Amino acid sequence: MLEAPKFTGIIGLNNHHDNFDLSQGFYHKLGEGSNMSIDSFGSLPMTDGGGSVAMSVDNSSVGSNGSHTLFLKHQGRVNNSYSIAQSVNRGRVAHGLSDDALAQALMDPRVQTEGLDNFDEWTLDLRRLNMGPAFAQGAFGKLYRGTYNGEDVAIKLLERPENDLERAQLMEQQFQQEVMMLATLRHPNIVRFIGACRKPMVWCIVTEYAKGGSVRQFLIKRQNRAVPLKLAVKQALDVARGMEYVHGLSLIHRDLKSDNLLISADRSIKVADFGVARIEVQTEGMTPETGTYRWMAPEMIQHRPYTQKVDVYSFGIVLWELITGMLPFQNMTAVQAAFAVVNKGVRPIIPNDCLPVLCEIMTRCWDGNPNIRPHFTEVVRMLEIAETEIMTTVRKARFRCCIGQPMTMD
């Protein structure tokens, strides 16, 4: 597994790769020569400018084989909302993908589809899957847009390494983990699972397609302009309610960030990318080399035991993003930010005109002591209070972020 630097001592701060992340690997958008790192491109736009799937394609955040992960005994069900009388289109690869070996390997009718272990009922019928063009790729996979039974979907394909058994086992573990998680979760603020399948050389996961892209894409488009306070709190509530549900099932996301929050057609927010999520058990076997430094709790950076409260920390950073529209620690590299968080107690600066209740949520969520951080049930309650206050007293308020750099404080 590709490991992150260990923050057990002094680390070098002369790394000028602004978007350094755990795998030190890079995505690139197809058709372009430039490289973009996971930290800035964890959620990738479609070539037509719309939508996102926020799914890692190079397994940069997967846990190690030593992780003591438990699998839920879940009796899933197939979403048979379509009519039996509907015509069934044979699965096909869209025009222009004839040279795409990964897509061809998936759609080849001569190769039998393998089962999903305890989740066979979620196996895709490839005759109903139409694959559009790939819009991004990593070292071991690609992201596509397509349709399944006529519905727009996001398609993640992972290629099984032929000559690296250890990595193949690691990717198989992540695939099973993500299928288990997605098949288990049912909530309006969690990305909806369509199905999955695997063949000898390729794994496939299909989810609903988010037309609005990711929250990070939304904030980038605003170019640090004022964010409507009512919208920021509504989006934060969607995230908090989704995470309250996740934690209620004794699960930990471990990579909560704006790249992994998708905006649906009705503008609601859906939490996505459960490839590194885990069931909360004794944490001695849980790997800390997951997540993304700018959003990562200090105990994970330091490789200390952790609980669900790492997600609460990440939410505090996300709430700051929603309020300010800015990238956390934007004046630092990701490694520098991690060093500052752990060794200097640095956190983003909260705007002076921030509502007191929102200020309290952020400061409590990103407290260095996990025991001080609230549970998401309390976060939801506090955000509902903030929403009421906004509606009754500051209906037209907006945050105007005019704070100069650096955007951090001790």
pTM summary value: 0.72
User: pLDDT, tens digit, for every residue of 326-338?
Assistant: 999 999 999 999 9
Token digits for 22? 């755990």
> In whole angstroms, what separates CA 246 from the centre of its chain?
14
Q: Give the model's pLDDT for residue 114.
A: 85
Which one is predicted more confidently, 287 or 270?
270
Q: Tell me: pLDDT of 153 over 70.
A: yes
b/e map of 344-375 (b: 16 or more CB within 10 Å)?
Answer: eebbbbbbeebbebbeebbebbbbeebeebbe
User: pLDDT, tens digit, for every residue of 110-127?
Assistant: 999 887 878 889 999 999
- Per-residue confidence band for 22, with pLDDT thresholds at 50, 70 and 90: very low
Choose the catalytic residue: 58, 238, 255, 259. Answer: 255
Q: Tell me: pLDDT of 286 over 90.
A: no
- Per-residue confidence band for 316, with pLDDT thresholds at 50, 70 and 90: very high
Q: Give the model's pLDDT for residue 376.
A: 98
Interval 368-382 mean pLDDT: 98
Q: Is 308 helix (H, G, I), strand (E, B) or coil?
A: coil
Distance, in Å, from the CA atom of 329 to the CA atom of 161, rounded to the nearest integer, reads: 35
Token digits for 393? 């007293």
Which one is predicted more confidently, 12 or 170?
170
- Output the average pLDDT for the chain: 74
Q: Is 237 helix (H, G, I), strand (E, B) or coil?
A: helix
Between strands 92-93 and 129-137, the pairing is: parallel
- Per-residue confidence band for 171, with pLDDT thresholds at 50, 70 and 90: confident
Q: Give the model's pLDDT for residue 311.
A: 97
367 is known as an active-site residue = no
Please state, for a pLDDT cut of 90, what percent of the chain lies above it. Answer: 44
- The answer to whether the peptide bond before residue 228 is cis (omega within 30 degrees of 0) is no
User: pLDDT, tens digit, for every residue of 59-114?
Assistant: 333 333 333 323 232 333 333 332 222 223 456 665 445 468 889 999 999 999 88
Which one is predicted more confidently, 72 or 145?
145
Which one is predicted more confidently, 349 or 402?
349
Give the HSE-up count for residue 98: Cα atoms under 13 Å, Cβ half-sphere.
2
C-beta of residue 185 within 8 angstroms of C-beta of residue 270: no
